[in-house]
Amino acid sequence: MKKIAIACDGDAVSSHFGHCEQFQIYAIEGETIQLAETIRNEGLEHGSIPALLAAHGAEAIIAGRMGQGAYQRFMDSHMIVKTGVSGKALSAAQAYANDTLESELVFCTHRYDETHHCHHQ
């Protein structure tokens, strides 16, 4: 069995990893998935999230977009990163389990005035 984490707002994949409401951890066995647990994103330090998700058994993170620093921390933690994903989290988890999840590397850059710009790599 493997586990994946999905950055979520409600039941949808969050458009931005760092601003998500929660992380849903899904357990995958073959093509069968189930929601294993939910971790609220309340005051979590961005740098601590890869280790936290890995401690919960996650081997991959799925999100809409994320900053380059977060991406590098996940890569340093040997986690699979899937960005450019949208829609329902359960559908994304099922697509990941079926090896049909469509994703692309999408980074966000943040400005001091709190606006952010996202671009495809």
Q: Give pLDDT tens digits for 17-64.
A: 888 999 999 999 987 999 999 999 887 776 789 999 999 999 999 999
Q: What is the pLDDT of residue 91?
A: 96
Alpha-helix residue ranges (DSSP H) falling in 2-109: 49-55, 68-76, 89-97
Considering only CA atoms, which of 97, 93, 105, 100 is closest in space to residue 38?
Answer: 93
Task: Tell me the chain's radius of gyration from C-alpha atoms.
Answer: 13
Please state the φ and ψ torsions of residue 22, each to the nearest 5 degrees: -160, 165
User: pTM of the predicted model, to two decimals?
Assistant: 0.87
Q: Kindly tell me if the per-residue pLDDT of 89 is higher than 70.
A: yes
72 or 115: whose pLDDT is higher? 72
Longest Cα–Cα distance of the chain, Å, equals 45
Q: What is the pLDDT of residue 120?
A: 44
Q: Kindly tell me if the per-residue pLDDT of 116 is higher than 80.
A: no
Q: Kindly tell me if the per-residue pLDDT of 113 is higher than 50.
A: no
